[in-house]
Amino acid sequence: MSEEVSKRAEEEAEIPDLEGQSDDSSDEGEASGDTEMDFLRSLFSRTLGLSPGEKVLDELTLDGVARYILSDKCKNIICMVGAGISTSAGIPDFRSPGTGLYANLQKYNLPYPEAIFQIDYFKKHPEPFFALARELYPGQFKPTVCHYFMKMLKDKGLLSRCYSQNIDTLERVAGLEGEDLIEAHGTFHTSHCVSFLCRKEYSMDWMKDQIFSEDIPKCDSCGSLVKPDIVFFGENLPARFFTSMKMDFPRCDLLIILGTSLQVQPFASLVSRVSNSCPRLLINMEKTGQSEFGMGLFAFGGGMDFDSDKAYRDVAHLSSCDDGCMALAELLGWKAELEEMVKREHALIDSKDDKKKDKEANQSSRRTGAEPVKADKTE
């Protein structure tokens, strides 16, 4: 890098200094500044390999993204999702002021809100986590429009993978399977003994029984705590996150980022893993993931750039995730299909819940000797 900088400096030294001839011309001064900035951008981008990629979208709007999806150029879509995709299901996100999970943990008497997901704190004080788990346990909520939009992308052969920060398993309930998903922050699907000498595995049903019996789950082999396989602060992400990331992102044609503040690493850094030409769509209540000042100034780097005059691939659609996905589905001509999918799948979930209530009621009746009853299905 130093040789190129020196060479360019020598070339610039041979160019006559014209600034003294235009002191009273502000327009020429601004033009000179623009030229110098362009030179710096060019120099840094060539030297560091950070030059902008090809502009793929015909316009930086949701319409432009929809036209690209419908073209034959968009074949591999990756979705990056956070807690914002599940708020309409009744599950709070983490950081929203007043309504977020971290703002409503006072009853657990934590030293600080994030402690409830700190592995060292959990090993000493597991009670707050399991009390919260009873409130938010998977199986009590229905997938949202956003979850079913991703299922539709899968059905149409467009979804390469969904990278999720969520532990609510709603992606699975909506129809995404193990190969479709990277659960970056783990899952309730399995649990393990926390002892390195044991590590016995337990099923989701076993953990659910423990949590709702209000017992602290303990290993029946060694007596240590048993923890769902969700990633706490202080733990490593699943190995599959890193191996899949290296394979998936270089071949991504469109990155859709949904309902995440992009504040937690290393997940947030995934936005920079796609190629420089890959369009990136953010559907969120506010803009996030934008470039740091220094990198944004020179119009390169992995951060999102929605507003500068150098923006060429990033689109921000500010709305709820459900509204944004429905708006995109409408532009794609998929709205009626998506609405029907949500209605059908929610009805199936309700039907399963009714059958479960009937079964539980009849089991209770047999124990007490009462007449069998059916769960009330009235609206």
Task: Output the six-digit token pair for 37.
Answer: 């900035």
Farthest CA pair distance, the chain: 104
Helix and strand totals (H; E) in the chain: 12, 9
**What is the spatial distance between Cα 149 and Cα 334, in angstroms, rounded to a whole number?**
9
Strands 254-258 and 280-284: parallel
Is the four-CA dihedral 298, 303, 306, 312 of positive or negative sign? positive
Cβ pair 197, 222 in contact under 8 A: yes
Burial class (CB in 10 A: 0-12, 13-18, 19+), 310: middle
The whole-angstrom separation of Cα 117 and Cα 230 is: 9
Q: 24: which DSSP letter?
A: T
Contact 364, 193 (CB under 8 A): no
Contact 270, 304 (CB under 8 A): no
Structure tokens at 377: 């299905």
Catalytic residues: 185
Half-sphere exposure of 106 (CA within 13 A, CB side): 4
- Beta strand 186-193 with 201-203 is antiparallel
Cis link prior to 266 (omega < 30° from 0)? yes
CA distances from 137 to 4, 210, 347, 354 (A): 58, 12, 21, 19
Q: What secondary structure does DSSP assign to 321-367, as a single string?
A: HHHHHHHHHHHHT-HHHHHHHHHHHHHHHHHHHHHHHHHHHHHHHHH
Q: How far apart are CA 49 and CA 118, in angstroms?
A: 38
Return d(Cα 187, Cα 178) in angstroms, integer.
Answer: 11
Single-letter code of the amino acid located at 213 = S
